[in-house]
């Protein structure tokens, strides 16, 4: 299957290729990810995701198409809703920064494919500087650390959202296509009242570690994806809440 901008996110390409977003979904909740993969469940598009996609579309040069596809961005009088006015403010802020715009000046939405542990992978790079660097654009709530209840630690937003995993996979697939191990940068902006911006690099040591994590966990994920083992439920996501079946009465302190 030849990937294009039109079919990159299609169910067919998701069946043929693993992606970072798919990998992270299975790591978050196998049951929800499998239901999405099989077309049995679709996570609703949130305003937060749409704001990020709005900024993405601006840098891709497809903002007019994005607006046409999403009438929910507009009020009855035709003006943008406040969340998307904020997206315009974010765009104006980052456009005033020379380094940010230099990072985002590469070739846009470059699609590449490769294999990790013999599993086909696909990637789509926000800003690709051929032979120089890989850049990903992120728009998030803020840059604060995020509490991880599993390890009882406040980790960086990069680790919490798996952007380091993304960097490891992108770097490896680019290496397979070019023979070059390029640095992975993040150009980030926040949705705060006053937009904060940052240009970040994920060091090679972290990328190497994360690639090992991907290789370690791919086997289990593929077994779940193929239906060869039962998916584990997280019992925390919306899908698990929606499909929960009570089997016993428990002590209130366990809830």
Which element (helix H / strand E) includes 236? Answer: none
Domains, the chain, in order of start with CATH, read 11-254 (3.90.320.10)
Q: What are phi and psi of 47, to 5 degrees?
A: -60, -40
251: Cα within 13 Å, side-chain hemisphere: 2
Provide the pLDDT for residue 177: 98
**At a CB cut-off of 8 Å and minimum separation 6, what does 55 contact?**
87, 90, 91, 137, 139, 189
3-state SS assignment for residue 254: helix
**At a CB cut-off of 8 Å and minimum separation 6, what does 197 contact?**
93, 94, 97, 100, 187, 188, 189, 190
Local confidence pLDDT in tens for the 255 residues of the chain: 889 989 999 999 999 999 999 999 999 999 999 999 999 998 888 888 899 999 999 999 999 999 999 999 999 898 999 999 999 999 999 999 999 999 999 999 999 999 999 999 999 999 999 999 999 999 999 999 988 887 778 899 999 999 999 999 999 999 999 999 999 999 999 999 999 999 999 999 999 999 999 999 999 999 999 999 999 999 999 999 999 999 999 999 988
Q: What is the DSSP letter of 132?
A: T
């Amino acid at each position: 299957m030849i990937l294009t901008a039109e079919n990159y996110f299609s169910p067919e390409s998701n069946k043929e290729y693993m992606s970072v977003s798919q990998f992270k979904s299975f790591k978050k909740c196998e049951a929800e990810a499998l239901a999405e993969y099989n077309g049995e469940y679709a996570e609703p598009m949130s305003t937060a995701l749409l704001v990020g996609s709005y900024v993405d579309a601006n840098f891709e040069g497809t903002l007019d198409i994005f607006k046409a596809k999403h009438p929910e961005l507009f009020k009855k009088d035709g003006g943008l809703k406040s969340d998307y006015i904020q997206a315009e403010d974010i765009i104006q802020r980052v456009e005033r920064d020379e380094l940010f715009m230099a990072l985002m000046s590469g070739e846009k939405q470059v699609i590449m494919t490769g294999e990790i542990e013999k599993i086909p992978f696909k990637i789509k790079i926000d800003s690709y500087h051929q032979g120089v660097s890989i850049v990903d654009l992120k728009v998030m709530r803020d840059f604060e650390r995020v509490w991880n209840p599993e390890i009882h630690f406040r980790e960086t937003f990069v680790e919490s959202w798996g952007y380091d995993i993304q960097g490891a996979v992108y770097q490896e697939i680019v290496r397979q296509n070019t023979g070059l191990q390029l640095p992975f940068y993040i150009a980030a902006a926040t949705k705060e009242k006053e937009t904060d911006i940052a240009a970040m690099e994920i060091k090679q040591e972290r990328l190497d570690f994360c690639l090992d994590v991907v290789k370690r966990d791919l086997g289990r994920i593929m077994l779940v994806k193929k239906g060869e083992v039962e998916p584990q439920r997280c019992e925390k996501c919306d899908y698990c809440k929606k499909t929960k079946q009570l089997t016993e009465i428990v002590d209130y302190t366990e809830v």
